[in-house]
Structure 1
Amino acid sequence: MSYHYKFEKILTIKEKEKNDASSKYNQAVKTFELAAEKLYRTLRKKEEMQNVQQGRLSQGLAVQDIRHHQAFMDTLEKTLERIQQEVMEARYRMNAFQETLVEKTIEMKKYEKIKDKDYAKFLDQVKELENKNMDEISIRQFINKAIR
């Protein structure tokens, strides 16, 4: 008597869905990390440029250079705003994929729990059947000894 789980195909599908959700979540995490790293590098660049400009201003600087620097800083601010938006969107996607992953994991675990309970029930039935067979064999042996 072999064990066959009646929801094996469903469990397989749920495992596949969980694995797909996991890979999408991992990809979203990587995307978020790349965006966050890009934001960090850009902020560092801005900070360095401000420090350089402060040093140059203390030494004296032409008005034209100040204008160029300010135009560059304005462009950098716009870039920072765009990158911050990308980071927020990546974080939102990552959180959404994380929620999906949690849901899929819970669904899969429910079917695994059902399988475990079903298997335990199967083992109980097998043990009960073996006990009945042993009882029957014992009764036959007793009857055979009584007849002799």
Structure 2
Amino acid sequence: MMSTFRLQKLWTMKEKEKQAALAEYEEAVHKFEQAAEALYKLLKEKERCEAERDRRLQDGLAVGAIRHTLQYLASLQQTIDHYQLIVMRAREQMQCRHQRLIELNIEVKKYEKMQERVRRWTEQREKEAESRLLDEIAVQRFVRQGEL
């Protein structure tokens, strides 16, 4: 029975590690989603601004307004580049945490299988002991009946 207790302790420890890894993974997914959403909004803003610029160029636009629009687009592009790096790092972090979660899940499953094997082995030994005891009782009854 001591081996079952040890396996239970190890399994519990690994299960806690897995739950912590799951929480870290969910946090990484959340950060990735936030960064990707911010990048998406910036790209939509750039697309909108470029469409507005093209429309205004066809209508005729002052040089100062063109310069202002180009500066805004350049600034927006720098921000987009920055957010692309953030999204890339967040994706890498999310993938790393996902891989760790998979590894821990495999470890937990291994301990669960070992625990199940120990349980079945213990049950088998108990059945064998019970069977031997019943056989012994049957032999004793037979011997007693023969003595009568």
TM-score with structure 1 setting the length: 0.95
Q: CA deviation at 1:145?
A: 1.1
Check whether the contact 1:35–1:90 (CA below 8 A) recurs between aligned residues. yes
5+ residue gaps, structure 1:
none
Per the alignment, residue 68 of structure 1 pairs with: 68
Aligned pairs, number: 147
Runs of 4+ in 1 over 6 A off after TM superposition: none
In 1: Cα distance, 2:6 partner to 2:55 partner: 75
Matches of 1:13 and 1:4 in 2, distance apart?
Answer: 14
Deviations 1:35-79 (A, max 9, x none): 111111110110011111111111000000000000000000000
Is residue 142 of structure 2 the alignment partner of residue 142 of structure 1?
yes
> 1:118 is matched with which residue?
118
Contact 1:32 1:87 in 2 (8 A): yes
Distance 2:4 2:146 in 1: 42
Check whether the contact 2:14–2:104 (CA below 8 A) recurs between aligned residues: yes
1:12 maps to 12
CA RMSD across the alignment = 1.3
Partner of 2:108 in structure 1? 108
Distance in 2 between the 1:36 and 1:147 partners?
Answer: 89
Aligned to 2:35: 35
Contact map agreement 1:28 1:93 (CA 8 A) in 2: yes
Q: 2:108 corresponds to which letter in structure 1?
A: M
CA contact (8 A) 2:39 2:84 kept: yes
**Structure having the larger proportion of residues in helix:** 2
The CA distance in 1 between the partners of 2:69 and 2:4, in whole Å, is: 73
